Amino acid sequence: MCTWTFGPLPLEAIAARLEQLGFDGVELYGDVSLDPRATRRLLEAHGLEVYSLTPMNVDLTHPEPWVRRAALDDYARLIEFARALGGARVSCHGHVGRFAPLADRRMEWGWLVEALQTLAETAAQAEVTLVFEVLNRYETHLVHTTAEALELLEAVGHPNLKVLLDAYHMNLEEPDPAAAIRRTGDRLGLVHLADSNRRGIGHGHTDFPALLHALQEVGYTGPLILEVTAPGPDPFTPVKEGDYLAQLEADLKDSLTWLRAC
């Protein structure tokens, strides 16, 4: 489960809730101000492993060099944080909330490739896998499809960079999400699950049996990270009107029940 979806709750409270629900681990929001060893001990006390880290919203493709440099520095700190946690995967993605290039698109693509070459090598030296998340067009502007992500991997040319596919984003961008998984094959490094409306499994129209079958076909053995949010306006915040935590936990319980019955 992605911890950011619980909103402003302290990590200890989130961990206690996830333990009660029966989760195995978390994708941790990348707050590098935390003590990584203390964070690991806290989560282990609740039976939770750290599978991956999601970044703060930084911009690797901004026309201003100092903005790109600051983004690289943030990711370098996140990679070191992951190393100290024991080697959790580090997720990377485009700037959320920027829907068009600020410079020429090919120029920004080149900056992204250059940044990922640096970060993939930094992560390899730290024995951490870097995964690039494919977001939908309403969240970011450069990489929206599996085909574009695979083109990006080819351009970067580093074996330590993998693809993160998200069922919610694929619902918006892929005509056949299961085929997208098969196309990614062994370059798939992490999987996010949420239904077509970003609620729990069974509350939308995503064909999850087809997705899980495709994951088996490509031999994916990594974690399945639920990135579910409570229903309501503003997709960029987990906090909704009413008792959003009760709704979130109900959806998570439904999702776990479905997954463990497969």
- DSSP calls for 32-56: TTS-HHHHHHHHHHTT-EEEEEE--
- Check 27, 173, 174, 227 and give the catalytic one: 227
The rounded distance, in Å, linking the Cα atoms of 1 and 24 is: 9
Name the token pair of 229. Answer: 């949010």
Provide the CB-side half-sphere exposure for 143 (13 A, CA). Answer: 27
| Structure token digits, residue 194 | 């949420």
Asked if 133 is an active-site residue, the reply is: yes
Q: Is 227 among the catalytic positions? A: yes
CA torsion sign for 64, 70, 110, 92 is: negative
Identify whether the C-beta of residue 137 lies closer than 8 Å to the C-beta of residue 99: yes
Active-site residue among 27, 133, 139, 249? 133
Catalytic machinery residues: 133, 227
